[in-house]
Amino acid sequence: MKDSPTPSLRIEVLSVEAASDVATVRDVVELVNKVYAVAEDGLWQQGATRTTRDEIIGFIRAGQIVVARLDDRIVGSIHVQRLDSDTAETGMLASDPDYRGMGIGRELRRFVVDQLRRDGVTVLQIELLVPRNWTQESKVFMADWNARSGYQVVRKGRFEDHYPHLAPRLATPCDFIVYNKPLDPTTDVGPDA
């Protein structure tokens, strides 16, 4: 009996053409929404999703979606965008729960950070959405990870003040915390979160 080959993880920026690939768009949307339904449980109204087909298509067309594939299956994704000449932001990191422990999130971040460094980015920004009046375990974990990983809080705010178009979808009042971290050649991207 032949051993089945071990699938290899491949990281790539989705091409503009991928925005027309119904299966690819569907897979990214479903993965992000599946992961965030757990990670942000209780923050959004019933039936609200983290992202939409149209939003992902726009991000793909802008060259802002990076995916991880095992063979041909999308098992991770991250959104990355340039904010200015020195700063980029990542968000919507999603790793398929069926493949946890494989370092998918870590490899996505490593790929993105290496690419940003090559492009001259010196600051990485991330945002964390947190409930205002109660504590959510996954958000506490991420805030602790951010601090341990060298991210500094640069701004806090009320979600509705900065994202008024999304605020009506919230099930509870939320704030957001913006973190920055310098990207230098020795920056560690951190553990798989």
Residue 74 in 3-state DSSP? strand
| Distance of alpha carbon 146 from alpha carbon 134, whole angstroms | 20
CATH tag, 9-182: 3.40.630.30
What contacts 127, CB < 8 A, 6 or more positions away? 89, 91, 176, 177, 178, 179
Residue with tokens 């504590």: 135
Q: In which residue ranges of the chain is pLDDT below 50? A: 1-5, 187, 189-193
> What does the pLDDT look like over 154-186, one tens digit per residue?
999 999 998 898 899 999 999 999 999 999 765
Q: Is 142 helix (H, G, I), strand (E, B) or coil?
A: helix
Report the C-alpha gap between 94 and 35 in whole angstroms: 6
**Cβ proximity of 135 and 175 under 8 Å:** no
* Domain range summary for the chain, segments of one domain joined by +: 9-182
The pLDDT score that the predictor gives to residue 184 is: 78
pLDDT for the residue 1: 41
